[in-house]
Structure 1
């Protein structure tokens, strides 16, 4: 009895370059008509070496982390086309670094490491470079993830103490009329100290005021935080002001954040009939806090 094995064996292998899963008409080298699953890992450790079996990695640790990519070799460890997807859902940063002499490539300039900030997503693809080894970085959530936090608020500049009529200076938050904000996002005017203008034939000093504001929410992390101040005028008065930063520290009530600024009127100095440069209106201080981490 003759046995015909060869045709059966040939029938077990595809004779075309396109393979379909759940489809009889594949339109690509591999066509999947359905869902696709791959490896998923959630990491909380501050140091993690990415495995050849990893694919999608989420970081949810409590501090800055370092993720190290596998060493690029040859043959089975060349990893050409290998893709890693990394999502940072923590409040800290991930330093993604290559191994040994391998590099990362953002554009045409190789780098040893790159920081993935909180909320950012990075996709890492191994290219075909076997000399030195290179991983290409592409970003699908943030084109170039920012390493700056920004907070903005609009505060009040109270009337000058020497105005006519003026509003006397105070300390220890004894006057609440000029506080701004809602909920816990509130800034108190703790104190104001007014200095009247001085206008003589030899010199002129502007009317100015030193104001201490206190934030009533959770204290800011003031490390590497830089205030940007601009004075505004939404009234019918002609007054023009400039604001200068004095200090920012968590030295207020129960460790709250306090901001001290100096505000000066610069459109005119002195007295003109019933009007003088000791302002009597309430004006705006636009505050932008930027922290680099």
Structure 2
């Protein structure tokens, strides 16, 4: 009779050790299945140094100066920490440095580093790998903060052929030529006007071929306060032409208050004429536009 009890207890214990456990579910599909919310430790730290403890899980830093968080010493047995995860968020206005304890290492990739800086507004996860004595913490996940005070818009516009090219495309005003508009729907840019200046190459001076172009955005006007255009000229044609683009003005002074961008484009790879070729370009090229607004 006693032997049967011992056997029953042994079998029950073995079944428990190998079973899948469910919380709020009768059909667990993993070693531990939780059908509901999960709570873990949360702590907000304000000191300039902090030793992460075995009971920590999610830690935020909200102090007034730079701080250093030191990870626990990795040992063996119950202090091997294999698989332990720490979630760390920097909500302060200062930097947060994560470092391992003496004798341990911290890795971003396969190469150990002495520390890792979590910048303002950023988040990091650290996990202990399978090492014990002399073990390693892996930086498994990082999220940099989204710039909350910057808006960015990008587009690619056309640089039309020069008015004095051979053959050229005559200059226009009042959106008289629609062939070089770009975009679609409300994300559409018109070329309202272009004004070409031919090259000049004398013994006294040299002026490049250049063009002033007025673009008008057909969507809702941009908020141009503290907006900074970044321009680059591109070449996707078979011509060898090289250009530079300079910002002239950006204002909501177009049709019904639409945003207008005025740009000066110059050809810079050569000036003047070379046989039948001259620096008044005859191809259509690209203007890469990036608008960044700080607020």
**TM-score when normalising by structure 2:** 0.56
2 CA distance for matches of 1:171 and 1:107? 60
Q: Distance in 2 between the 1:124 and 1:278 partners? A: 56
Counterpart in the other structure of 2:246: 244
What's 1:228 paired with? 230
For these two proteins, the number of residue pairs brought into alignment is: 193
> Secondary structure at the residue paired with 1:288?
strand
Q: How does 1:42-81 map to 2 (within 5 A)?
A: none
Q: Structure 1, residues 121-173: CA drift from partner, whole Å, max 9, x if none?
A: x7869xxxxxxxxxx96547952221322111110001111111111111110
Task: Find the counterpart in structure 2 of residue 282 from structure 1.
Answer: 284
Q: CA RMSD in A?
A: 3.6
CA drift of 1:218 comes to 0.8
Separation in structure 2 between the aligned mates of residue 190 and residue 202 of structure 1, nearest angstrom: 35
Cα distance in 2, alignment partners of residues 138 and 281 from structure 1: 47
8 Å contact from structure 2 (residues 122, 143) kept in 1: no
* Aligned-partner SS, 2:256: helix
Alpha-carbon spacing, 1:201–1:220, altered in 2? closer, same or farther (3 Å): same
Cα deviation for residue 22 of structure 1 reads: 5.3
For 1:106-125, what aligned pairs fall within 5 Å after superposition?
none
* CA distance 1:33–1:185, shift in 2 (3 Å): closer
Change (3 A) 1:149 1:142: farther
1:172 aligns with 2:157: no
Query: For residues 106 and 189 of structure 1, do their structure 2 counterparts lie closer, same or farther at Cα, with a shift above 3 Å needed?
Result: farther
Unaligned runs of 5+ in 1: 1-20, 24-30, 39-54, 56-68, 70-80, 86-97, 109-121, 126-135
Question: In 1, distance between residues paired with 2:121 and 2:211?
Answer: 51
Partner of 2:76: none
Look up the SS of the partner of 1:245 in the other structure. Answer: strand
Unmatched 5+ residue regions in structure 2?
1-21, 25-31, 45-55, 69-88, 93-119, 125-141
- What pairs up with 1:1-293 in 2 under 5 angstroms? 33-36=34-37, 103=63, 139=123, 142-146=143-147, 147-293=149-295
Give TM-score scaled by structure 1 length: 0.57
Question: Any conservation in 2 of the 1:149–1:291 contact (CA below 8 Å)?
Answer: yes
Give the direction of change, closer, same or farther, for the CA distance of 1:148–1:142 in structure 2 (3 Å limit): farther
